[in-house]
Structure 1
């Protein structure tokens, strides 16, 4: 039987609508339950916060906070193909983890992409951090 928790948790998705394994996570005594703290209301606040990121440093800080508070690992890197647009040129991936709702796994990257479209300088900083704008040996 699922354990009682001292904090509010995300309500379960309709049967068959998600593959988050929420119930299995709740029944695992060793499970990392931090992700369940992300209620739908908290997710809305998180998405709004991600959309309002102003700098690359702020984005990195949010990645760290997502991992520290919820166990969510977000990887943001240039796509392996040629970078032509922000939407297709930067890959945003959330690592699989029990309890991470399918909708959340879509909402977080979408919010970050909207941020990058509004603040292209952040996208350029991401590209630069991966040495895509580095010196090419020409002097």
Structure 2
């Protein structure tokens, strides 16, 4: 039998709001998020920064949901979208998910969209914002 996958080290007490203890105590809890070790998180963020197309971004969103339970929704913000900063990133709060990870994922995606603005345009077009342009 193979050993269980490595899990993320707990954050120092009081430094994070991940509620890892609450997650580990529940017998029916989804522990997939704990598989995201610091090294794997770094790989994930690098991969997100190197997305090449909207399809690639959607594929990464699907893989994060399947493998880790992380759901990332990207939509135009409430106000006018003049840059990548105008996009709204919603990440579902998961017990065991570090607050730094919740902030790093949108930052990495924004960097990728700034490098390849055509992906941002395609994303806006998918929400019918550039329909008449």
TM-score by length of 1: 0.91
Q: CA deviation at 1:135?
A: 3.5
1:64 is matched with 62
2:107 is matched with 110
* CA–CA separation in structure 2 for the residues paired with 1:129 and 1:39: 33
TM-score by length of 2: 0.95
Q: Report how many residues are paired.
A: 131
List per-residue Cα deviations over 1:74-96 (Å, max 9, x = no partner).
01000010111112x11112111
Task: Please point out which of 75, 78, 82 is paired with 1:77.
Answer: 75
- 3-state DSSP of counterpart to 1:48: helix
1:123 is matched with 120
* CA–CA separation in structure 1 for the residues paired with 2:83 and 2:47: 23
> 5+ residue gaps in structure 2?
none
After the TM superposition, which parts of structure 1 deviate over 3 Å for at least 4 consecutive aligned residues? none
Task: Please point out which of 3, 10, 28 is paired with 2:8.
Answer: 10
> 5+ residue gaps in structure 1?
none
Higher-Rg structure is 1
CA RMSD of aligned residues (A): 1.2
* CA–CA separation in structure 2 for the residues paired with 1:19 and 1:123: 31
Q: How does 1:124-139 map to 2 (within 5 A)?
A: 124-135=121-132
* CA–CA separation in structure 2 for the residues paired with 1:111 and 1:50: 6
